[in-house]
Amino acid sequence: MDASIVGILMLDGATNGAVYALLALAIVLVFAVTRVIFIPQGEFVAYGALTLALLQLGRVPGTVWLLVALALLAALLDAAQRVRRGLPLPQVIAAALKSLVVPALIVAVTLWAAPRKLPLVVQSLLTLAIVTPLGPLVYRLAYEKLADATVLVLLIVSVGVHFALTGLGLVFFGAEGFRNPSFWDARFSAGALSLSGQTIIIFLVSIALIVALFLFFERTLRGKALRATAVNRLGARLMGISTSGAGHLSFGLAAFIGALSGLLIGPATTMFYDSGFLIGLKGFVAAIFGGLASYPAAALGAIFVGLLESFGSFWASAFKEVIVFTVIIPVLLWRSFQHGHADEEE
Amino acid sequence: MSPRALRRYGLIAFAVLLALLPQLPVPEFWITQANYIGLYTLVALGLVLLTGIAGLTSFGQAAFVGLGAYTAAYLTVTHGVSPWLTVWLGLGVTALAALVLAWVTLRMSGHYLPLATIAWGLSLYYLLGNIEALGKYDGLLGIPALKFFGIELNTGRSYFYLLWTLVLCATIALTHLLDSRAGRALRAVKGGTTMAEAMGVNTFRTKVTAFVLAALLASVSGWLFAHFQRTVNPSPFGLNMGIEYLFMAVVGGVGHVWGALVGASAVQILKDQLQVWLPKLMGTSGNYEVIVFGVLLVLVLQYARDGIWAFVEARLPRINRKVDWADAPALATRPRPPHGDVVLDVNAVRKEFGGLVAVNDVSFQVKAGEILGLIGPNGAGKSTTFNLVTGVLPATRGEVRLLGERIDSLPSREIARRGVSRTFQHVKMIAGMTVLENVALGAHLRGQRGFPSALLRLDRAEERSLMREAEAQLVRIGMGVSMHELAGNLALGPQRLMEIARALCADPTLLLLDEPAAGLRHKEKQGLADVLRQLRSEGLSILLVEHDMDLVMGLVDRVVVMEFGTKLIEGTPDVVQASPAVRAAYLGTEH
Determine the pLDDT at residue B356.
87
**Residue partners of B153: CB distance under 8 A and separation at least 6:** B145, B146, B147, B159, B162, B227
- CB pair distance less than 8 Å for A284 and B115: yes
CB pairs under 8 A between A and B: 159
- CB pair distance less than 8 Å for A37 and B111: yes
- Write down the mean pLDDT value for chain B: 89
Query: Which of A35, A77, A273, A322 is most worth mutating to test chain B (most B CB atoms within 10 A of its CB)?
Result: A322
β-partners of residue A195 are: A188
pLDDT in tens, B296-330: 989 998 988 888 888 888 888 888 888 888 888 88
Q: How many helices (H) and strands (E) does chain B have?
A: 23, 12
Q: Which residue of B has its CA nearest to A162?
A: B294
- CB pair distance less than 8 Å for A285 and B119: yes
- CB pair distance less than 8 Å for A344 and B194: yes
- CB pair distance less than 8 Å for A160 and B297: yes
Are B501 and B574 found together in one domain?
Answer: no
* Residue that terminates a domain, selected from B445, B477, B506: B506
- Residue among A156, A166, A328 whose CB faces B116 most closely: A328
Are B104 and B188 found together in one domain?
Answer: yes
How close does chain B come to A179, measured CA to CA in Å?
Answer: 22
* Residue that terminates a domain, selected from B477, B506, B535: B506
User: Residue B146: is its pLDDT beyond 90?
Assistant: no
Q: How confident is the model at residue A147 (pLDDT cuts 50, 70, 90)?
A: confident
Determine the pLDDT at residue A342.
43
CATH number at residue B114: 1.10.3470
Residues B369, B375, B380, B386, Cα dihedral to 10°: 30
- Residue B14 within any structural domain of the chain: no
Determine the pLDDT at residue B591.
60
Are B501 and B512 found together in one domain?
Answer: no
Looking at residues B171-195, what average pLDDT do you find?
91
- Residue among B130, B246, B282 whose CB faces A171 most closely: B282
- CB pair distance less than 8 Å for A156 and B110: no
Q: How confident is the model at residue B332 (pLDDT cuts 50, 70, 90)?
A: confident
Are B270 and B395 found together in one domain?
Answer: no
Q: How confident is the model at residue B1 (pLDDT cuts 50, 70, 90)?
A: low
- Residue among B193, B293, B301 whose CB faces A157 most closely: B301
- CB pair distance less than 8 Å for A156 and B246: yes
Query: Which of A325, A343, A346 is most worth mutating to test chain B (most B CB atoms within 10 A of its CB)?
Result: A325
pLDDT in tens, B414-462: 999 999 999 998 889 998 899 999 999 999 999 989 899 999 999 899 9
Q: Which residue of A has its CA nearest to B108?
A: A342
Estimate to the nearest angstrom the gap between the alpha carbon of B580 and the chain centroid. Answer: 49
- Residue A346 within any structural domain of the chain: no
- Residue B1 within any structural domain of the chain: no
Contact B137, B127 (CB under 8 A): no
* DSSP strands (E only) in B288-447: 342-353, 356-367, 371-375, 397-402, 405-406, 420-422
User: Residue A346: is its pLDDT beyond 50?
Assistant: no
Nearest Cα to B169, choosing from B457, B477, B510? B457
Q: Which residue of B has its CA nearest to A323?
A: B123
Q: What is the ipTM metric for this complex? A: 0.90
Q: What are phi and psi of B346, to 5 degrees?
A: -100, 120
- Residue among B115, B119, B301 whose CB faces A156 most closely: B301
What is the C-alpha to C-alpha distance for residues A279 and B321, in angstroms, rounded to an integer? Answer: 52
- Residue among B104, B118, B296 whose CB faces A336 most closely: B104
Are B307 and B404 found together in one domain?
Answer: no
Are B496 and B512 found together in one domain?
Answer: no
- Residue A117 within any structural domain of the chain: yes
Split into its structural domains, chain A has a count of 1
Q: Which run of H or E residues covers position A308?
A: helix A295-315
More confident residue, B2 or B140: B140
The pTM score is 0.90
- CB pair distance less than 8 Å for B297 and A322: no
pLDDT in tens, B97-142: 999 988 888 877 667 888 888 888 888 999 999 888 888 888 888 8
- Residue among B112, B288, B295 whose CB faces A170 most closely: B288
- Residue among A151, A157, A341 whose CB faces B298 most closely: A157
What is the C-alpha to C-alpha distance for residues B45 and B166, in angstroms, rounded to an integer? Answer: 12
- Residue A343 within any structural domain of the chain: no
- Residue among A153, A167, A284 whose CB faces B291 most closely: A167
How close does chain A come to B292, measured CA to CA in Å?
Answer: 7
What is the C-alpha to C-alpha distance for residues B79 and B92, in angstroms, rounded to an integer? Answer: 18
Estimate to the nearest angstrom the gap between the alpha carbon of A31 and the chain centroid. Answer: 12
- CB pair distance less than 8 Å for B109 and A342: yes
Looking at residues A123-138, what average pLDDT do you find?
95
pLDDT in tens, B207-257: 999 999 999 999 999 999 999 999 999 999 998 899 899 989 999 988 899
Percent residues over pLDDT 70 in chain B:
99
Nearest Cα to B178, choosing from B487, B503, B457, B470? B457
pLDDT in tens, B65-76: 999 999 999 999
Q: Taking CB atoms and an 8 Å cutoff, what residues of chain A touch B128?
A: none
Task: Note the helical H segments in A58-119.
Answer: 62-84, 89-113
Tell me, what amino acid is at B45? L
Are B69 and B152 found together in one domain?
Answer: yes
- CB pair distance less than 8 Å for A335 and B108: yes
How close does chain A come to B450, measured CA to CA in Å?
Answer: 23
CA distances from B102 to A79, B106, B194, B209, B376 (A): 46, 5, 20, 9, 43
User: Residue A345: is its pLDDT beyond 50?
Assistant: no
Query: Which of B47, B53, B111 is most worth mutating to test chain A (most A CB atoms within 10 A of its CB)?
Result: B111
More confident residue, A314 or B212: B212
pLDDT in tens, A179-212: 888 888 778 877 767 788 888 889 899 889 888 8
Angle (CA) B228 B232 B234, round 5°? 135
Nearest Cα to B275, choosing from B299, B253, B292? B292
Tell me, what amino acid is at A310? S
- CB pair distance less than 8 Å for B305 and A153: yes
pLDDT in tens, B236-247: 999 889 989 998
Q: How confident is the model at residue A344 (pLDDT cuts 50, 70, 90)?
A: very low
Q: How confident is the model at residue A80 (pLDDT cuts 50, 70, 90)?
A: very high
Determine the pLDDT at residue B210.
94
How close does chain A come to B565, measured CA to CA in Å?
Answer: 25
* Residue that terminates a domain, selected from B506, B530, B562: B506
- Residue B389 within any structural domain of the chain: yes
CATH number at residue B590: 3.40.50.300
Are B364 and B415 found together in one domain?
Answer: yes
How close does chain B come to A328, measured CA to CA in Å?
Answer: 7
Range of the domain at B176: 28-315
- Residue A231 within any structural domain of the chain: yes
Q: Which residue of B has its CA nearest to A281?
A: B119
User: Residue B47: is its pLDDT beyond 90?
Assistant: yes
Would you mind telling me the total number of residues written for chain B in this entry? 591
Looking at residues B196-212, what average pLDDT do you find?
92
Determine the pLDDT at residue B232.
92
- Residue among A146, A284, A345 whose CB faces B55 most closely: A345
More confident residue, A136 or B477: A136
- CB pair distance less than 8 Å for B126 and A328: no
- Residue A345 within any structural domain of the chain: no
- CB pair distance less than 8 Å for B288 and A332: no
- Residue B63 within any structural domain of the chain: yes
Looking at residues B155-166, what average pLDDT do you find?
90
Split into its structural domains, chain B has a count of 3
pLDDT in tens, A213-233: 888 888 888 888 888 888 888
Q: Taking CB atoms and an 8 Å cutoff, what residues of chain A touch B291?
A: 163-164, 167-168, 171
- Residue B180 within any structural domain of the chain: yes
- Residue B327 within any structural domain of the chain: no
User: Residue B58: is its pLDDT beyond 60?
Assistant: yes
Range of the domain at A301: 3-338
Are B409 and B440 found together in one domain?
Answer: no
User: Residue B163: is its pLDDT beyond 50?
Assistant: yes
User: Residue B268: is its pLDDT beyond 70?
Assistant: yes
